[in-house]
Amino acid sequence: MYLLAIFSPLIGSLISILGGRWVGSKGASLITCSFVSLAALFSTMVFYEVALCGYTCHLYLTTWISCGMFNASWSFMFDSLTGIIMIVVTYISALVHFYSVEYIAEDPHRPRFISHLSVFTFFILLLVSADNFVQMFLGWEGVGLASYLLINFWHTRLPANKGAIKAMLVNRVGDVGLTLGLLIVFYLFHSIDYATVFAAAPYFKHYSLNLFTFEVDALTAACIFLFVGSIGKSAQLGLHTWLPDAIEGPTPVSALIHAATMVTAGVFLVARCSPIFEMAPISLSIVALVGGITALFAATTGVFQNDLKKVIAYSTCSQLGYMIFACGTSNYATGIFHLANHAFFKALLFLGAGSVIHALADEQDMRRMGGLAYLLPFTYTMMLIGSLSLTGFPFLTGYYSKDLILELASTTYSVPGHFVYWVGILSVILTSFYSFRVLLLTFLNNTNAPQRWVGHVHESPSFMSMPMAALGIGSIFSGYLIRDMMVGTGTDFWGAALFSLPYHTHPIESEFSSTLTKWAPFLLSNVGIVLALLLNVGLSRFATNLQLSSLGHTLTFFFNKKWYWDNVYSYYLIRPALGFGYNISFKALDRGVIEIFGPLGLTKSLPLWAKQLASMQSGQLAHYAFMMLVGTTFLVTIVELWDVIFLFLDYRTVGVLFTSALFIMSGF
Partner 1 sequence: MIHQIHYLSLSTMLFIIGIWGVFLNRKNILIMLISIELILLAINFTFIIFSVYLDDLVGQIFALMVLTVAASESAIGLAILVVYYRIRGNISVELINLMKG
Chain residues in the site for partner 1 (CB under 8 A): 613-622, 624-626, 629
Q: How many CB atoms are located within 10 Å of the residue 336 CB?
A: 30
- For partner 1, the closer of residues 213 and 620 by Cβ is 620
Q: Strand, coil or helix: what is 458?
A: coil
State the nearest-atom distance from the C-beta of 631 to partner 1, in Å.
12
Q: Strand, coil or helix: what is 214?
A: strand
State the nearest-atom distance from the C-beta of 622 to partner 1, in Å.
6
State the nearest-atom distance from the C-beta of 621 to partner 1, in Å.
5
- For partner 1, the closer of residues 555 and 608 by Cβ is 608
State the nearest-atom distance from the C-beta of 593 to partner 1, in Å.
34
- The residue count for the chain: 668
State the nearest-atom distance from the C-beta of 645 to partner 1, in Å.
25
- For partner 1, the closer of residues 549 and 617 by Cβ is 617
- For partner 1, the closer of residues 61 and 630 by Cβ is 630
- For partner 1, the closer of residues 571 and 626 by Cβ is 626
- For partner 1, the closer of residues 554 and 633 by Cβ is 633
- For partner 1, the closer of residues 574 and 614 by Cβ is 614
Alpha helices in 47-157 (DSSP H): 80-103, 110-129, 133-151
State the nearest-atom distance from the C-beta of 578 to partner 1, in Å.
51
Nearest alpha carbon to residue 119 among 34, 207, 8, 194: 8
State the nearest-atom distance from the C-beta of 606 to partner 1, in Å.
16
State the nearest-atom distance from the C-beta of 652 to partner 1, in Å.
32
Angle between helices 397-410 and 415-439 (to 10 degrees): 150
If you ran DSSP here, which 8-state letter would residue 446 be given? Answer: P
Angle between helices 377-391 and 462-487 (to 10 degrees): 20
- CA dist 397 and 477 (Å) reads 6
Q: Is 34 exposed, middle or buried (0-12, 13-18, 19+ CB in 10 A)?
A: middle
Angstrom CA distances, 112 to 7, 89, 165, stand at: 18, 20, 19
State the nearest-atom distance from the C-beta of 640 to partner 1, in Å.
16
Angstrom CA distances, 321 to 291, 385, 421, 532, stand at: 4, 22, 12, 22
Q: How many helices (H) and strands (E) does the chain have?
A: 31, 4
Q: Is 235 exposed, middle or buried (0-12, 13-18, 19+ CB in 10 A)?
A: buried
- For partner 1, the closer of residues 551 and 613 by Cβ is 613
Q: How many CB atoms are located within 10 Å of the residue 485 CB?
A: 15
State the nearest-atom distance from the C-beta of 618 to partner 1, in Å.
7
- For partner 1, the closer of residues 573 and 606 by Cβ is 606
- CA dist 103 and 358 (Å) reads 8
Phi, psi of 302 (to 5 degrees): -60, -30
- CA dist 6 and 139 (Å) reads 11
State the nearest-atom distance from the C-beta of 601 to partner 1, in Å.
24
- CA dist 130 and 535 (Å) reads 49
Query: 529: which residues sit within 8 A by CB, 6+ positions away?
Result: 391, 432, 433, 436
- For partner 1, the closer of residues 613 and 639 by Cβ is 613
- For partner 1, the closer of residues 11 and 627 by Cβ is 627
Nearest alpha carbon to residue 170 among 250, 277, 263, 295: 263
- For partner 1, the closer of residues 617 and 660 by Cβ is 617
Q: Strand, coil or helix: what is 298?
A: helix
- CA dist 25 and 236 (Å) reads 37
State the nearest-atom distance from the C-beta of 628 to partner 1, in Å.
8
Q: How many CB atoms are located within 10 Å of the residue 364 CB?
A: 17
Nearest alpha carbon to residue 116 among 258, 13, 4, 260: 13
Q: Strand, coil or helix: what is 130?
A: strand
State the nearest-atom distance from the C-beta of 620 to partner 1, in Å.
5
- For partner 1, the closer of residues 632 and 660 by Cβ is 632
Single-letter amino acid code for the residue at 553? H
- For partner 1, the closer of residues 53 and 613 by Cβ is 613
The answer to whether 39 and 92 have CB atoms below 8 angstroms apart is no
State the nearest-atom distance from the C-beta of 609 to partner 1, in Å.
13
- For partner 1, the closer of residues 574 and 630 by Cβ is 630
- CA dist 240 and 319 (Å) reads 13
Q: How many CB atoms are located within 10 Å of the residue 592 CB?
A: 15
3-state secondary structure 490-504: CCCCCCCCCCCCCCC
State the nearest-atom distance from the C-beta of 612 to partner 1, in Å.
11
Enclosing H/E stretch for 70: strand 70-78
